[in-house]
Structure 1
Amino acid sequence: MKLHDSVGIVTGAGGGIGAALCRRFVENGARVVATDLNADRLEDEVSRIAEDHPGSIVALAGDCSSVEHIRASIALAESTFDAPVDLYAANAGVGLGDGLDATPADWQTSIDVNLMAHVRAAELLVPGWLERGSGHFLSTASAAGLLTQIGSATYSTTKHAAVAFAEWLSVTYGARGIGVSCLCPMGVNTAMLNSGAESVSDTARQGARAVTEAGLVLDPIDVADIVVQSLATDEFLILPHPDVLEFFRRKASDYDRWLRGMRRYQETLS
């Protein structure tokens, strides 16, 4: 994936990894539509980037899981930059609910944002990419999508699904000019992780500890640097935390042993 002169859309760009991706993409010559549900945070982030790179980034607040918003983001990118969308970074994510106490609304929102937002964007973009013979879909999943997130059933389940959908996209369209990458970080210094650590919920705090005590907590900009490097070589699985690959290998080699180990780890966090 060549970022220079490309046009991209980044969801969840009001902070964290999304804002960092926007900055690094623009610094590498891309033009970007940044979207987020939180209009104020989005405008703040985009204004800061635009100060350094005027004309390279615009904001459009809205729900990343809405087909209408995705259509509007694509239309804004094409009209603003007079070029088709080359890169879609489905980065927005949510972690809702406490285990089996998660409500039906928690589950539906998690499914919509963490999975269906990816599906709906691909439905709109892939046909055009196939005609052009190029395009790249970047899915921000999580190490929880390869392993399991202690605490949040909604997050772990939907992130597994996000990984599976990215794999399917690559298998189905990878030989037809469409690139797919799946970003699976562990601990990143974001509002989501920090809110879990400070939550009144024992389950949420336990989930945050499971992440922070498993390895390094990276800054979002460091994750964005790794993404840029990986896009340049068209890597599918992007792992900012190398330990995740070893954990994944252990899981695959002996599932029962891995599950026992995860249960023991969970007990140490109680």
Structure 2
Amino acid sequence: MRFAGRSAVVTGAGQGIGRAIAHALTAQGMRVLVSDLDGAAAARVAEEIGGHSLACDVRDPRQIADLVTHANRVLGQIDLWCSNAGFARGDGDMAVSADDAQWQDSWDVHVMAHVRACRLILPDMIARGEGWLLNVASAAGLLSQIGDAAYSATKHAAVSLAQSLAISHGDQGINVSVVCPLYVATPLLGYDDDRAEDRPHDRVILPDDVAQALVEGLRAGRFLILPHPEAADLARGRMADMDRWIEGMRKLRARVWDDENPDLRDLHRRI
């Protein structure tokens, strides 16, 4: 991908990974529209990078349509769409304890937000014979996240959706990438900012590390971008012997998960 002079929309960019992506793309010469559920946070990041901003709840199809319309107006066209917005709330006492509302939110944020955006932006990209679709999923979409079935299931769906987009539209000039990091020091894991120095081990990387891997992956035209390279080995082991992998995950859960005080934000410190 050639970045200079191109335009990008990044959702969930008011903090964490999305903010780092907005900065990284701007540094490569792109014009960026920052979107976030928190409009004030989006505006702050836009001011940092000299970009544009718009508040958007990606669960709402009408707000996604407004975001696309606004992006086309202020950017001229959308060259790169980055679906980064995401959340994790945990299961409770069973893998299926989360209520229907949480499952629906997970589906809408992690999957349907990208579907709905692509329905609107793909026709123009196909007509131009060029465009980039980027989904920040998770290594949970290749493996599984202990303690959050809704997160894991919808991140798997996000990876599958990216594959379908690449298969169906690659010959039309549409470039598709999916980013699957493991643990990143963001508010989702309880870190206050992207300068977190109290990371418990090297597997917890910074948002800037994810953004740099993303830029390198886009430049190389890679579909699967792994800020944690070890995720590839873990995924290969899972596919080679699923029963053995599940047994290993059961043992890991028994060692690190506290059923009495489940806390996703603390889990990464015990692995």
Q: Same fold (TM over 0.5)?
A: yes
Matched, 1:67 2:61: yes
Matches within 5 A, 1:161-200: 161-194=157-190
Aligned equivalents of 1:132 and 1:41: distance in 2?
Answer: 33
| Most deviating of 214-223 and 243-252 | 214-223
TM-score (norm 2): 0.87
Residue identity in the other structure for 1:8:
A
Superposed displacement of residue 43, structure 1:
2.0
Cross-structure match for 1:80: 74
Distance of aligned partners of 1:134 and 1:90 in 2 relative to their CA distance in 1, 3 Å threshold: same
Superposed displacement of residue 39, structure 1:
1.6
Does the 8 Å contact 1:33/1:76 carry over to 2?
A: no
Aligned equivalents of 2:16 and 2:60: distance in 1?
Answer: 21
Aligned equivalents of 1:221 and 1:69: distance in 2?
Answer: 28
Residue identity in the other structure for 1:248:
A
Instruction: Give 3-state SS (helix, strand or coil) of 1:9's partner.
Output: strand
Superposed displacement of residue 219, structure 1:
0.6
Aligned equivalents of 1:49 and 1:84: distance in 2?
Answer: 19
Stretches of structure 1 that go unaligned for 5 or more consecutive residues are: 51-56, 196-211
Aligned equivalents of 2:7 and 2:37: distance in 1?
Answer: 21
Cross-structure match for 2:106: 110
Superposed displacement of residue 214, structure 1:
8.7
Cross-structure match for 1:17: 17
Aligned equivalents of 2:83 and 2:27: distance in 1?
Answer: 19
Cross-structure match for 1:231: 218
Matched, 1:256 2:243: yes
| Most deviating of 101-110 and 212-221 | 212-221
User: Once the two structures are aligned, what percentage of the paired residues are identical?
Assistant: 40
Aligned equivalents of 2:132 and 2:38: distance in 1?
Answer: 26
| Structure 1 residue runs of 4 or more that deviate by more than 4 Å after TM superposition | 212-215
Aligned equivalents of 1:171 and 1:105: distance in 2?
Answer: 32
TM-score (norm 1): 0.88
Stretches of structure 2 that go unaligned for 5 or more consecutive residues are: 192-198, 258-271
Deviations, residues 44-87 of structure 1 (Å, cap 9, x unaligned): 2222222xxxxxx1110011232222222222222223x21010
Instruction: Give 3-state SS (helix, strand or coil) of 1:33's partner.
Output: strand
| Most deviating of 244-253 and 123-132 | 123-132
| Most deviating of 69-78 and 241-250 | 69-78
Cross-structure match for 2:84: 91
Does the 8 Å contact 2:68/2:117 carry over to 1?
A: no
Does the 8 Å contact 1:96/1:107 carry over to 2?
A: no
Cross-structure match for 2:8: 8
Distance of aligned partners of 1:90 and 1:260 in 2 relative to their CA distance in 1, 3 Å threshold: same
Residue identity in the other structure for 1:265:
L
Aligned equivalents of 2:59 and 2:123: distance in 1?
Answer: 19
Superposed displacement of residue 97, structure 1:
4.1
CA RMSD of aligned residues (A): 1.5
Residue identity in the other structure for 2:181:
P
Superposed displacement of residue 146, structure 1:
0.2
Cross-structure match for 1:37: 37
